[in-house]
Structure 1
Amino acid sequence: MKKDINVLIVEDETLVSDMIRGTLKEINYNVVGRAVNGYQAVEMTQKLNPDVILMDIKLPDISGIDATKMIYEKRPTPIVMLSAYYNQELLESASESGAGGYLIKPASHSEMERTITITIDRFQETMKLKKLNEDKDKFFSIISHDIKNPLFSMNGYLGIMTEYIDKFSKEKIKDMTLNLKKTYESFERLIDNLLSWSRMQTGMLKSIPKTINLYDIAIKNIKLFQQNAEQKEILIQNEIENKIEAYADYNMVDTIFRNLISNSIKFTNKGGTVKISALLNKNDIIISIYDNGIGISEKNLKILFKIDSKCTQTGTSGEKGTGLGLILCKEFVERNGGRIWCETELGKGTTFYFNLKSGNN
């Protein structure tokens, strides 16, 4: 395993470099090169893409700390700083520059192996956290206008109705009230999803699995969207057998059904069909929600479940969406040990599948 880890040594003294190389060889690390100064270290990092760098803190041109900063700007890499003596101030400076480990030369085999392992693990966790934070920031910038839009829309409807209600016919008032209700319901679902997602990110929302009846959950959500479906003359068919049960968190599965059924109605034309089915296997259940709607483009299919991308597609009656519902579905399915996927054909329809542990065993 360690043979797959490539190490770049940055050390200007040949004797010391050879000692480090020998130690690395004895503990089965692969040395891909040696740089004798800071600028060369930056250049070789770009060319060799090492898995970890052992960087002398004192170099002939620039300090190892400055070289580390330059490397982090161009290609972040796990770095272990090397020094001939312990210095708390240097240690803090090295850490601030991006170095994840610190070794006093000469280091023993066990010290070097342990420090390299910890540095790589710490680096990977830091990069994951950095990516997660970047994705969240991008996600919130994407979704912020989706939160404002329905508020502006509702405010606009209320303003017009307040000022001109005496001039409108009953039919016009009814139509505007219906549009206002649709906007409110869409906004309410967005807020529900956003609250669920934020609670999950902060660790406040835990999966509490138990045996749940999928037929009952399907019926509950069909009733929830019955009026929406009737307005578009869409038939929702529940083909799940009453006896089929899953072992999963009830609220999470309920949210998955709610979002997928809502999506199917949104992207199905007037007079279309939505079918909810479940296939019981030996150890799991595959749930499918099918619609014969407009389908999903290849471009949007690639980013359906990605938090850092906005999947833009307008519903068949002009409904707007944020894509948050599908992101939430993916996280909830995975929290319950399953996976979610999609099959679609543009202009013909879409089927979302997800699997859960069987509760019938």
Structure 2
Amino acid sequence: GRNPDIEKLEDAFKYIHPEDLPKVNEAMAMVLKEQLPSLMLQYRVKHNDGHYIWIEILANVEYDKAGNPFRVIFKTRDITSRINLEEKIRQSEAQYRLLAENSTDGIALFENDELVYMSPSYTKILGDYLEINRIEEMFDYIHPDDLPKIKQQVKKIKAEKVERDISQYRIRKSDGSYAWFEDIIHSEFNERGNQIRVILNSRDITKRIEAQDELKEKEKQLEMLLTNMSDFLFLIDKDGIIKYTTPYTLNYFGYDETGISGKSFFEFIYPPDLERLIQDFSQAVNEKSIGRKAYRVVRKDSSFFWMEINGNSIENGHLEFVIVGRDITERIKIQEQLKKQHTELAELNATKDKFFSILAHDLRSPFNQIMGFSDLLSKNMHQYDTEKIAHFVGIIRNSSVKAYQLLENLLNWSMAKRGMMEFYPVTLNIIPLVKEETNRLSEQIKTKNIDLKLQESSNIFLSVDENMFRIIIRNILNNAIKFTPLNGKINIDLKEKDNEIIITIKDNGTGMEQSQIHSLFELSENRSSEGTQGEKGTGLGLLVVKEFIDKHKAKIEVNSEKDRGTEVQLIFQRDNTVILS
């Protein structure tokens, strides 16, 4: 930065950096001592602004005959930039070495297949036993099962000039076990295509491989579990689309995978249950939970079964549901059977109560009359005239008929309830049967002066059990007489309509409230009312009628209005009937 104030060689020394001055003095002394012709030195000298710069000098020394230097020629150049760059390079190399030596990954540098550098991490991972000078010596430590693959990869890298590649292999440790390595391989090639430099960045992935193997094993176990589980499993989205199901589910539903996956879960629901499922699923989407529900599900062959489902939602970027289901058809059947048995048990209890009620009260009344009036006749008959005796005998006869009818109904009802009454349908002309049963009740009809008309236009042949049919007609007609007033009317009509034979028995008697009609055939609700002349009853006759109507797979319909009479229709199917003109 200025012309230096130098007259003698010694004057130059005052500009040299104090740290470099001893080195320069020592070099100059050695040159003079050994009479060296030249000297090259690098040192720092002070600039005019006070900082130091690096210079490189080439000193050529000339000596006289006595060996004393008489001329020194200095060639000087500023090498500050080069020195700074070299310092930066040294610092960078130190930093990279520091990083390499403290990295958990192994770093190895090969130039022209010769090992230049290998970081300490290899020793930390594998143990202090690696003896590698050339790159191919790495093969001695690779697992035999992985070696062919690695050799093939190395060959491919060289042949195809691959600058970056990744490999995974097992490498032997000092204790004889193997670690899994993942290498990132960086290759440099010269202009002739020869591989001149290889940098290996090796990472121990043993734990990752073990975790992957463990995950694969768990996935295998899960697959076995899903394959062999006897419950149904569905993964569906918030729109009800099936994303996954198990082989067992597919087989049970009768489909292959394409028959269910991607379709709506709603498609497989039995139509009567669909609206309920849609409501439940909409609620599940809002609440992100599916409670325990049961629906009927349709198989591919159109059969259906009851499926109970339960599920939970999962958030995997979007809402999905895992639904577990099982066939509960047998459970439903058992529940229905239990309900039926409960109903039957209630009926049996009611039957028992009704039976004891009849024995305790209804049978006692006619037998009391029979015993009472027969006792009077036995003791006092010589005191009574013929008219009074005839009156008492009439009471005894009527009481006997009532008792017989009651016992007959009781017996028929009991046998029907226990399934002990044989059912033998044969094809009969039912017109004479109806007439005979009407004639059988002629005395009661005459007593009330009832106008009874039987309207029939043809002979009707119907397949019926004769005894049961007679009991049905007798009980319905007996009820009509009982509730028809003096001088009342009863019409009996038999006709064909479509595929049915309809027998109608209609009276103009006391009639019933709607609530009474609904309980006519219910044992627990059955209550008998008194007739228009105080006739007693048990209501048992109608229960017998219902049992026998059911045996014939027929129907009974009752229409009535209070104080306007009652109409009873017995409806038989024509399947087993023959109509003759």
Bin the TM-score by the shorter chain. Answer: 0.5 to 0.7
Tell me the C-alpha RMSD between the 2 structures.
3.1
Query: Which of 118, 126, 135 is 2:341 aligned to?
Result: 126
Write the distance in 1 (CA, Å) between the matches of 2:525 and 2:356.
11
Secondary structure at the residue paired with 2:502?
A: strand
8 Å contact 2:233–2:325 — kept in the other structure? no
Asked if residue 357 in structure 1 is aligned to residue 357 in structure 2, the reply is no
The match for 2:154 is none
Post-superposition offset of 1:314: 1.0
8 Å contact 2:347–2:523 — kept in the other structure? no
Post-superposition offset of 1:205: 1.4
The match for 1:250 is 466
Secondary structure at the residue paired with 1:360?
A: strand
Q: 1:162 to 1:339 in 2, by over 3 A?
A: same
Post-superposition offset of 1:282: 2.5
Larger helix share, 1 or 2: 1
The match for 1:262 is 478
Write the distance in 2 (CA, Å) between the matches of 1:25 and 1:117.
21
Q: 1:134 to 1:226 in 2, by over 3 A?
A: same
Secondary structure at the residue paired with 1:279?
A: strand
Q: 1:313 to 1:126 in 2, by over 3 A?
A: closer
8 Å contact 1:139–1:309 — kept in the other structure? no
The match for 2:354 is 139
Query: Which of 424, 434, 438 is 1:222 aligned to?
Result: 438
Bigger drift between 196-205 and 183-192 goes to: 196-205
Write the distance in 2 (CA, Å) between the matches of 1:118 and 1:314.
43
8 Å contact 1:194–1:324 — kept in the other structure? yes
The match for 2:26 is none
Asked if residue 279 in structure 1 is aligned to residue 515 in structure 2, the reply is no
Post-superposition offset of 1:128: 3.2
Asked if residue 162 in structure 1 is aligned to residue 378 in structure 2, the reply is yes
Number of positions where the alignment pairs a residue of Structure 1 with one of Structure 2: 268
8 Å contact 2:554–2:571 — kept in the other structure? yes
Query: Which of 298, 303, 317 is 2:519 aligned to?
Result: 303
Post-superposition offset of 1:116: 2.9
The match for 1:337 is 553
Say which one has the larger Rg: 2
Post-superposition offset of 1:299: 4.3
TM-score by length of 1: 0.66
Q: Map 1:1-361; keep pairs closer than 5 Å.
A: 23=231, 113=328, 116-117=331-332, 119-144=334-359, 145-358=361-574, 359-360=577-578
8 Å contact 2:512–2:562 — kept in the other structure? yes
Q: 1:310 to 1:150 in 2, by over 3 A?
A: farther
Write the distance in 2 (CA, Å) between the matches of 1:127 and 1:325.
25
The match for 1:102 is none
Secondary structure at the residue paired with 1:294?
A: coil
Write the distance in 1 (CA, Å) between the matches of 2:329 and 2:507.
54
Task: Tell me which amino acid in the other structure corresponds to 2:531.
Answer: G
Write the distance in 1 (CA, Å) between the matches of 2:434 and 2:464.
15
Write the distance in 2 (CA, Å) between the matches of 1:126 and 1:270.
45
Identity %: 24
Write the distance in 2 (CA, Å) between the matches of 1:265 and 1:116.
50
Q: Which runs of 5+ in 2 are unaligned?
A: 1-229, 235-248, 250-268, 281-290, 295-323
8 Å contact 2:452–2:490 — kept in the other structure? yes
Task: Tell me which amino acid in the other structure corresponds to 2:342.
Answer: M
Q: 1:118 to 1:318 in 2, by over 3 A?
A: closer
Write the distance in 1 (CA, Å) between the matches of 2:375 and 2:452.
36
8 Å contact 1:215–1:241 — kept in the other structure? no
8 Å contact 1:142–1:310 — kept in the other structure? no
Task: Tell me which amino acid in the other structure corresponds to 2:426.
Answer: K
